[in-house]
Amino acid sequence: MSWDSLIRPELEPMRPYQPGLRASQVRERSGVEHVLKLSSNEYPVGPVPAAVRAIREIATHVNRYPDGGSEALRDKLAAHLGVDHETVVVGNGSNELLRLIGQVVLRPGDEVVYSWPSFVVYPMVADMFGAKKVVVPLAPGQVYDLDAMLDAITDATRVVFLCNPNNPTGTIYGREAFARFLAKVPDHVLVVVDEAYFEFVTDPDYPDGLASFDGKRPLVVLRTFSKIYSLAGLRVGYGVLPLPLAEAIHKVREPFNVNMAGQAAAFASLDDQIEVARRREENQEQKTYLYSCFDRLGIRYVESHTNFVWFETEWPVEVFEALLHRGVIARDFGNTPALRLGVGTPDDTRATIAAFEAIVSDLGGI
């Protein structure tokens, strides 16, 4: 038997998603007991108290299947966002929603436009469904060039992915550029705006994707509870979609796709917007400390609108390993001359700054 004849050929170029190193792996490699995992853009402390209580309360009921349609959470989200319940779809992380959108929209030969570097799942979705990848490089400053993305659209384009703020660079595009883009994008193109880091943004020029959602134009806005709400381990993402697309997603998503604890914790988390605001402020403060360290040490970086910082280095492999040796896990991108570093607690920031000071002293620069 030939497995090549059985497995879809579109999957051949794909590679499994590679998560960052685990803290236990770094302890074994470096011998450092206290390890800072700053590679996965997780919020550095646990869920809000109400979410923890909700998880505990649900623990004795997990012999039952969860709410198959996440109805209560969708109601809560609809009220929180000011949209219709039927336009809200909840997924096993926003990653699942990206895949489901590809499943219901993409046909072999369709084109998918996205920028690079950006979220690694976008090309994976294109490959998964036999679509052609149309890659638009980021503009100077590591920002999206929406005009160039418009120029890349053809009659064969089916989906455009926009990551705002962008992962891994932390940059945003502004209101005027987004409005101009939406005014010119053809009706046959579905625009998917991925706003996983929406809650961290403080810039008044940031265009909230939902402000442009009318339920008619082919526009999707995706968000998540994995980041500022600290529910990454429970996998709860959500999207606001035009009704026909939402109905199609429900036809192909797995039944009970979001677990009971995730639904309960996300539901409870929405009530604590005071804590969300406090976390946003603390994140800004810790980024400021990191920037001051980088400025002092001559490290080039991109100002971030997220909970991570993209910094440049001529020796990404050596710097990545040097950070590991000091118990700091960053995110590397092969030979790309940059690394991505998550923002941690105040203690994490102090330890990270000390690590960078030692590395610059040893290497003479970064």
Distance CA 356, CA 299 (A): 10
Does residue 2 carry a pLDDT above 90? Answer: no
pLDDT band, very low/low/confident/very high, at 5 (cuts 50, 70, 90)? confident
Supply the DSSP string of 213-248, one letter for each residue. --SSSSEEEEEESSSTT--TTT--EEEE--HHHHHH
Residue 318 CB: number of other CB atoms within 10 A?
14
pLDDT tens digits, one per residue of 194-253: 999 999 999 999 999 999 999 999 999 999 999 999 999 999 999 999 999 999 999 999
Tell me if residue 88 falls in helix, strand or coil: strand
pLDDT tens digits, one per residue of 77-114: 999 999 999 999 999 999 999 999 999 999 999 999 99
Distance CA 10, CA 316 (A): 32
pLDDT at residue 364, as a whole number = 86
Does residue 25 carry a pLDDT above 80? Answer: no
Compute the mean pLDDT over every residue in the chain, rounded to the nearest whole number.
Answer: 94
pLDDT at residue 299, as a whole number = 97
> 40-66 burial, b for 16+ CB within 10 Å, e for fewer?
bbbbbeebbebbeebbeebeeeeeeeb
Does residue 6 carry a pLDDT above 90? Answer: no
pLDDT at residue 101, as a whole number = 98
pLDDT at residue 11, as a whole number = 81
List the domains of the chain with CATH numbers.
17-46+273-363 (3.90.1150.10), 49-269 (3.40.640.10)
pLDDT tens digits, one per residue of 279-298: 999 999 999 999 999 999 99
Q: DSSP assignment, residue 181?
A: H
State pTM to two decimals.
0.94
Would you say the C-alpha torsion 358, 303, 123, 135 has a positive or negative sign?
negative
